[in-house]
Chain A
């Protein structure tokens, strides 16, 4: 059955994944500390969407729409965005382990965000997201610099990423320990692990715009990413302007990563695991792979969020903890496969 041969099967899979995403989002909105009947959940969502004017308890409606729905949508957009970044980086760097978290880009974005939040870098002229973007670009620059020179091996890029992640995590820890009070450092450390707590509708709007525009631009380059399968020279000999495409796509992934990090913190492994799962299901062609990755990523993240809220009674785990619980073993598995193939 996989990968699907006919276009019909493919559309059926996409349709099923989209429906599943809708169901998961409704499910995520119906689960929480306060028990709210499922019917009320549906009515609240319908009300929020403006398709129903049933009168509801404003508190329940507020919890569903303002709190849980925004959270579920942020989970969906960040899952889609991070998975998208992963698939783009894996194609571009020809590296099965590439993703923003492993490459230290998330760490760079965290450092950028923290330095704006705590130290006031930029004197209020730049926001947290912009700070995260600069941090992410800096991390990319460091990784590309460390990994350039010799022929880019799988391990070299990953080692460069580890170095960058260590460096930026150290800077972040240093900033937090010297500039934050106890309350601030607790909330920042929680956010750094990846947390969906306290997101607002304005965050949803930002994530929606950045991830959607990012997706459209990446999709425009889908076939170009196919051309990278046999390396940069092969791509160039197929008519791709390698430098230009690489610059555009790296900046784009930095932008998506930075936006998501500034909202939900550094959530790891989504960008690693989801593209591999999607490739397994749908095949290696990027025209199909990009939408599949985004859809599966969104589903995965919404489900992870549900797990993070129900796995320990009366407590919410940081979502980064849940994704890492799935992601770390998957990372090991992929690493093992890459090694045996080399």
Chain B
């Protein structure tokens, strides 16, 4: 599935949070969204998910404007894994994943074979089969993120939006989660802080600064010492990794 934002702007309390951003992701492609804290990554993802109405510009799903679709139709196509989502409800992993079927079911419609299959498949994809009966509040950070990923997969989306999904995870779980996302057939947009992980797991990167798009392209073209200095004010050297061939950033302090 194709998702595209054209000239997206979003203003909150007279402040431009997102400022004229245009980006597009094609089928099966993974786009990394990088930029400092407060550069508008989360807000941009919320606009792309149709959760906020842009003050300018439009989002298109397979070239159709997203505002022409109902909330439910959008939810059948676009799934979001938000930052620190948590709940007080005493839900089990399986029950959280089942929430992903809500957009596909009528209010009084029973549980169908297709619902079961998609939930099972999502549990497998997220490696949660053995954890399916665990309660949410007993899960570690990595397990929670995988549960949210599975819930998103159960929505059968064409587009998956992930807002800093690796935050607070140790390196093993960061790699595990991103590997799982890469293995999916969805078009993905991932907001990431770690430039090296972004280079490793994304086909293209978009760099945001103060709500504006300042660079985009293949990781090795975008991640230059000049850009890292301009955006983060950090000295860096970038080289091609002899191990995986992707751009590798070394911070010089």
Question: Which A residues have a C-beta under 8 Å from some C-beta of B?
Answer: 94, 96, 220-224, 226-227, 229-231, 233-234, 236-241, 279, 283-285, 338, 341
Q: How far is the CA of A250 from the CA of B82 in the complex (A)?
A: 26
B147 to chain A minimum Cβ distance, whole angstroms, is 10
Question: For B75, what are the chain A residues with a Cβ–Cβ distance below 8 Å?
Answer: 237-239
Query: Does B76 lie within 8 Å of A229, measured CB to CB?
Result: no
Question: For A224, what are the chain B residues with a Cβ–Cβ distance below 8 Å?
Answer: 102, 107
Residue of A237, A283, A285 contacting most chain B CB atoms (<10 Å):
A237
Tell whether A237 pairs with B51 under 8 Å between CB atoms, given A229-B99, A284-B89, A284-B90.
Answer: yes
Task: Write the chain B residue with the least CB distance to A237.
Answer: B80
Query: Does A234 lie within 8 Å of B95, measured CB to CB?
Result: no
> B107-133 vs A: 1/0 string, CB under 8 Å?
110000000000000000000000000
Query: Does A239 lie within 8 Å of B74, measured CB to CB?
Result: yes
Chain A facing B: main interface SS: helix
Residue from the list A94, A222, A239 in contact with B88, Cβ < 8 A: A94
- Does B193 interact with chain A (Cβ within 8 Å)? no
Query: Does A230 lie within 8 Å of B85, measured CB to CB?
Result: yes
Residue from the list B46, B74, B102, B137 in contact with A223, Cβ < 8 A: B102
Q: How far is the CA of A223 from the CA of B100 in the complex (A)?
A: 11
Q: How far is the CA of A97 from the CA of B109 in the complex (A)?
A: 31
Task: Write the chain B residue with the least CB distance to A285.
Answer: B95
Query: Does A223 lie within 8 Å of B107, measured CB to CB?
Result: yes
Q: How far is the CA of A321 from the CA of B61 in the complex (A)?
A: 58
Q: How far is the CA of A284 from the CA of B99 in the complex (A)?
A: 12
Query: Does A338 lie within 8 Å of B102, measured CB to CB?
Result: no
- Nearest 3 Cβ contacts at the A-B interface: A239-B75, A239-B72, A239-B103
Question: For B88, what are the chain A residues with a Cβ–Cβ distance below 8 Å?
Answer: 94, 96, 338, 341
Question: For B24, what are the chain A residues with a Cβ–Cβ distance below 8 Å?
Answer: none
Question: For A220, what are the chain B residues with a Cβ–Cβ distance below 8 Å?
Answer: 107-108
Q: How far is the CA of A227 from the CA of B155 in the complex (A)?
A: 13
Question: For B91, what are the chain A residues with a Cβ–Cβ distance below 8 Å?
Answer: 229, 284
Q: How far is the CA of A151 from the CA of B175 in the complex (A)?
A: 31
- Does B172 interact with chain A (Cβ within 8 Å)? no
Question: For A223, what are the chain B residues with a Cβ–Cβ distance below 8 Å?
Answer: 102, 105, 107
Query: Does A236 lie within 8 Å of B71, measured CB to CB?
Result: yes
- Does B140 interact with chain A (Cβ within 8 Å)? no
A286 to chain B minimum Cβ distance, whole angstroms, is 10
Task: Write the chain B residue with the least CB distance to A240.
Answer: B71
- Does B223 interact with chain A (Cβ within 8 Å)? no
Query: Does B51 lie within 8 Å of A341, measured CB to CB?
Result: no
